[in-house]
Chain A
Amino acid sequence: MTDYLNYAMKRLGQFALVVLIGINLAYVITHATPIDPVEQSISVATYFGDTAPEAIAAMRASLQELYGLRGGALTQYVAFWGRIIRGDFGPSLSAFPTPVSTLILRAMPWTVGLLATSTIIAWVLGNLLGGLAGYYRDNRVLKVFGITAMALHPVPYYIVALILLIVFGYLWPILPISGGAAMNVAHGWNWPFISSVLSHSILPALSLILIGLGGWFLGMRSLSSNIVTDDYVVYAEIAGVRRPRILFSYVMRNALAPQLTGLAMSLGGIFNGAVITEKVFGYPGMGTLLVDAVYAADYGLVLGVTTVSIIGVSLGVLIIDLLHPLIDPRVQVR
């Protein structure tokens, strides 16, 4: 148990470091650039028509307050962290006066639900098929699947999402292509709403799964095809252990550990993909929020979504890392 605590403390330290570096990067990006976000917001806001100079001055003062640009460098830095710890990113400019945190909280369940479901489906299915393909190397169907996975895996999320959109939106329109749920259904725990949410999530989830599946499949196939030739597997085969048992408890069980590490490592990339997938399908999650915030020049919202996504992804990695010793007891020793 002390071993596990030791391990958990180390992981927590890494989590703190990731959040620290990530948020500092966000701070540096927003503060060390030649462009003044205040002046930029003002120029966007006064783009149409004349605005009285007094009004501009008042706006400048309140924007400086909002962005925490008052005082010296140290004061600004401390104020920046204070706001992040309090989770207060000020009111959103594009949805004034709704606070940024409210917008993020509203979008978060959509993103977390879509990401968690599609990642788990892709990981489980990819590993299962990959293990089978590594073990039954001469199976024709699995070979064809391998070639498909190889062709699909390197294609970026946007292209897959676009192709699905064209196929199911224009050529064969059977699925809803935009939004999180039908507009005319009341939100709540009732069947019409849930079924609407599910049918709207099919295309975004499918594009995330299609991309993810190939990577896990190829990884698991090469890992398990190496393990199959190991002495203990050959021994188990000679000893007459039943084949499904060899596949699941001897081969795949051992290949699962690196695949779990891989999942933790690629969580950031999966989130990147979800941002663009959400935008393509108009899914009301954090990705759409982020992209629309950039279009609307909403500084607080962009910074808020970036910060929350850095913390969220590192939290996901931390959870996987903490579960890791349960699957692979060797991890604790390291």
Chain B
Amino acid sequence: MWRIFKDLLKHNGEFRAGALLISIVVAMAALSFISPYAPDVSYVVAPDVPPNASNWLGTTSRGQDVFWQLTFAIRNTLLFGLLVALLSRLVALMVGLLAGYCGGWVDRVLMSVNDTFNVIPLFPLLILFYFVLRDRMSTPLLAVLMASLGWAYDARLIRSIAMSLKSREFTATGIFSGMTAREILLEQHLPYIMPIVFSTALNNMNWSIGLQVTLAVLGFMDIETPTIGSMIYWANQHTAIVAGIWWWIAFPVALVVMTFVGLFLLAVSMNEYIDPRSRLAGMEGASQ
């Protein structure tokens, strides 16, 4: 694992850039543990101060330090993305492996449901959820809802790999030596699928964080917990752009864009690593 990491770092420019961006973002999130201010108190510093030596990224109109507020916001945002990715991976793995391995009517039924979830516009559904739940829409609940809606695309990907694994010789050997379907799936097929699970998890985090920012900006979720989205929401509520408090909007946006680009680059470089054809092309380029 560590060797793969070092290899990627050495040979893959996209991985280097992605790893750098994500380490900055994670370091920022880690700083939240030594923050001098609690995340939910306001008017602890002078409001509307532009970036200076003591308030590096300025302060908000609610009297909060943008830098320290941002550390909490990015931590919660990342945790949210991780939770959604983790939960939706479980569903995607289960559906993908079962559909690919069983084939026949199981495959047809699961894939019909899968295609349905791919097509349905989820955003109006999430808004409908918020509409009926209102204040009970907590961040963990939103994560569960999004995980149960956002697994379909990756399940299809996993299914296609499971289908090709099924026709390999070792699967037949496993069946003849009396392994159960569960054992074959978990012990023989899962290790082959893990890399793709990992890279789809990164893309899924991007998807869920993007949706969460969007929902929070509209005020359609718990906006008291600091996240990148709720920071932008409060900045909009205080008309920060018009009032010239640009640092309240600019820094959260910059940090979340760094997160998106970083996660995406990591996912792309993972995909390249998984696909030996493009790895070969990269080596040719290096030897020239």
Contact = CB atoms under 8 A, between A and B. Distances in A.
Interface of A: 14, 17-18, 21-22, 25-26, 29-30, 33-35, 37, 40, 150-151, 153-159, 162-163, 166, 170, 222, 226, 264-265, 267-269, 271-272, 275-276, 279, 290-291, 294, 297, 299, 302-303, 305-306, 309-310, 313-314, 317
B131 interface: yes
B127 interface: yes
Q: Summarize A's interface: helix, strand, loop or mixed.
A: helix
B118 interface: yes
Considering the complex of A and B, which 10 residue pairs feature the smallest CB-CB distances, nearest first? A156-B210, A154-B264, A272-B123, A154-B260, A306-B124, A33-B132, A268-B121, A271-B121, A158-B214, A18-B116
B49 interface: no
Given A151-B261, A155-B260, A302 B127 contact: yes
Contacts of B256: 159
Interface in B247-288: 249, 253, 256-257, 260-261, 263-265, 268, 277-278
B264 A299 contact: no
Contacts of A317: 119
Contact of B127 (A163, A264, A291, A310): A291
A14 B118 CA distance: 12
Given A35-B134, A35-B136, A155-B261, A29 B128 contact: yes
A303 B127 CA distance: 10
Interface residues of B, number: 47
Interface in B204-235: 206, 209-211, 213-214, 217-218, 220, 232
B120 interface: yes
A26 to B, nearest CB: 6
Given A26-B125, A291-B127, A306-B125, A18 B261 contact: no
A219 to B, nearest CB: 12
B73 to A, nearest CB: 14
Interface string B1-28: 0000000000000100000000000000
A25 B125 CA distance: 8
A126 to B, nearest CB: 16
23 contacts: A14-B115, A14-B116, A22-B125, A25-B120, A29-B132, A30-B128, A30-B132, A35-B132, A35-B133, A150-B261, A154-B206, A155-B210, A156-B210, A268-B118, A268-B120, A271-B121, A271-B123, A290-B124, A290-B127, A306-B127, A310-B120, A310-B124, A313-B120
A153 B220 CA distance: 25
Contacts of B118: 265, 268
Nearest to A153: B264
Contacts of B151: none
Contact of B214 (A17, A156, A290, A299): A156
Interface of B: 14, 112-113, 115-116, 118-125, 127-134, 136, 153, 206, 209-211, 213-214, 217-218, 220, 232, 241-242, 249, 253, 256-257, 260-261, 263-265, 268, 277-278
B129 A29 contact: yes
Contacts, number: 133
Contact of A17 (B112, B132, B263): B112
A297 B127 CA distance: 12
Given A154-B261, A306-B128, A291 B218 contact: yes
A48 to B, nearest CB: 19
B128 A303 contact: yes
B121 A309 contact: yes
Q: Which of B122, B124, B213 has the most CB of A within 10 A?
A: B124
B112 A294 contact: no
Nearest to A160: B257
Given A18-B119, A294-B220, A302-B131, 14 more contacts: A18-B120, A29-B128, A154-B260, A159-B213, A159-B253, A159-B257, A166-B241, A170-B241, A268-B119, A272-B123, A275-B123, A276-B217, A306-B125, A309-B121
A310 B119 CA distance: 8
Given A18-B116, A291-B218, A313-B121, A158 B131 contact: no
Nearest to A317: B119
Contacts of B120: 18, 21-22, 25, 268, 310, 313-314
A45 to B, nearest CB: 15
B227 to A, nearest CB: 13
B253 A163 contact: yes
Contacts of B130: 294
A212 B149 CA distance: 22
Contact of B116 (A22, A40, A279): A22
A34 B137 CA distance: 12
B288 to A, nearest CB: 11
A158 B213 CA distance: 8
A21 B127 contact: no
Given A18-B119, A154-B263, A310-B121, A302 B133 contact: no
Contacts of A275: 123-124
Nearest to A22: B120
Nearest to A307: B124
Contacts of A222: 278
Contacts of A226: 277
